Amino acid sequence: MNKYKKLFLSLILDALGYVSFIIPGIGEFSDIVWAPVSAWVMTKMYKGKDGKIAGAVSFIEEAMPGLDVVPTFTLMWLYSYVLKPKKGKVIEA
């Protein structure tokens, strides 16, 4: 998947996570359903160890009340395509 398509999808998925703020009462119930779904989607979007860690973080973030404001998918995209050093590339202090 193209990295910019993945960014667009990340923004959409983070927006879906914000739905619980729109509908008081029902919103927290939606987190019970959305937490495992978001974790699964995260592991499919990002493979390997990074994807597994991001999936666990996504699950916890969605399952914990009040943490829905964290844009987990977008932060993972930023880590993967902007912050993560390339293999073989030396980072100087």
**Confidence (pLDDT) at 50:** 93
In a domain, 81, yes or no: no
Residues 21-79: pLDDT tens digits?
A: 777 767 667 788 889 999 999 999 999 999 999 999 999 988 887 777 889 999 999 99
Tell me if residue 68 falls in helix, strand or coil: coil
The CA-to-CA distance between both ends of the chain, in Å, stands at 32
Cα separation, 47 vs 20, whole angstroms? 28
Cβ distance 72 to 42 under 8 Å? Answer: yes
In a domain, 27, yes or no: yes
The label of the residue with tokens 């398509």 reads 5
In a domain, 28, yes or no: yes
In a domain, 56, yes or no: yes
How many domains are contained in the chain? 1
Range of the domain at 29: 3-76
**Confidence (pLDDT) at 57:** 95
**Confidence (pLDDT) at 34:** 87
* Stated pTM of the model: 0.82
In a domain, 22, yes or no: yes
Sign of the alpha-carbon dihedral angle for 12, 18, 22, 23: positive
